Amino acid sequence: MTVWELVRAFVRRWPIVLVGALVTAGAGLAALNDDGVYFTRTEILFLAPTSPLYPNALRTQSEDIIIAAGAVARRISGPQAETKFASPDVTLVGLGVREGWWLRLPDTGGQWASNFATQRLFLDIVGPTREGVEAEQAKILGRVADELRQMQEQAGADPAAMITSMEAPETTVIFHVEGSNVRALAMVAVLGVGLTAAVVLVLERRRRSRADAAWAATGTLAAG
C-alpha cells in the first residue's frame, strides 16, 4: 500500500481515525496529569546474637543467618518462584510497577546460578501517596520481625541465641519519582497512531478481500 492509498484509507475510515485521535488525546492528557509515585527501598539487616567472642552483631556473617533471612522472605511473600534479573539492584519502579511491594533476598549470581551472599533483605514499596507507602513500610517491617521471632520459637531457639532484625536507618527514606512528560506524550502518540493505522489496514484488507471475491464470482458467472 502506497502512502497515497494509506491517506485515502484514512479518509474512508474517518470514524475510526476520529475515535483513535480522541483516545490518544485522552491518554496524552492522563500522562500530563500523572503526579508520579512514591518509592522506597528499605534494607533489613539480620543480626547474629552477640557474645564475648563476637560482640559486634553487624560484623558477624553466617550462612545460617542468610538462610533465615531467605526463609522469612519466603514466609511473607509466598512460595511462588522468584523472577531472576541480571542485577539485584532492579527496583519495582524500574519494572514499571506503580503500586505494590516486593520483599526478597538479593541474588548476586549470574544467569545460570544463584548466589545469596548477604544477610539482608530488600523491601521495595511503591504507591501513589507518601502516607500509603509509610503505612505499608511499617506493616511489613513488623511482619518481618514477627515472622523471624515465631520461626525461631517454633524451632525451640533460646531467646539469648535468637537472630534479630533491624532496618538500615539511611534506607527508610521515601522518594517521589516522576517520569518525563515529553517521553510519555511521544510514546502515547506513537502507540495511538500505530494502533489506529493497524485497525484501518486490517479493515482495508478485509474490504479488498471481499471485493476480490466478488469480482472472482462475477467473472465466473460471466464465463459460465
User: Which residues, in sequence order, are CB contacts of 151 under 8 Å at separation 6+?
Assistant: 68, 71, 72, 75
Check whether 88 has a pLDDT greater than 80.
no
- Rounded CA-CA distance 156/36 in Å is 47
In the chain, where are the structural domains located? Answer: 3-33+180-223, 37-177
Burial status of residue 30 (CB atoms within 10 A of its CB: 0-12, 13-18, 19 or more):
exposed
pTM of the model: 0.66
Alpha carbon 43 to chain centroid, angstroms: 19
β-bridge partners, 114:
none
Q: What is the pLDDT of residues 17-35, one digit of tens each?
A: 888 888 888 777 766 666 7
Look at the domain 37-177 and name its fold. Alpha-Beta Plaits (3.30.70)
- Using only C-alpha atoms, the chain has a radius of gyration, in whole angstroms, of 29
- Residue of 89 and 58 predicted with greater confidence: 89
Q: What is the pLDDT of residues 121-149, one digit of tens each?
A: 999 999 999 999 999 999 999 999 999 99
Considering 56-70, 160-174, 183-197, the range whose residues carry the highest mean pLDDT is 160-174
**Distances from the Cα of 125 to the Cα of 77, 83, 167, angstroms:** 13, 17, 14
Q: 142-156 in b/e burial notation, b at 16+ Cβ within 10 A?
A: eebbebbbebbeeee
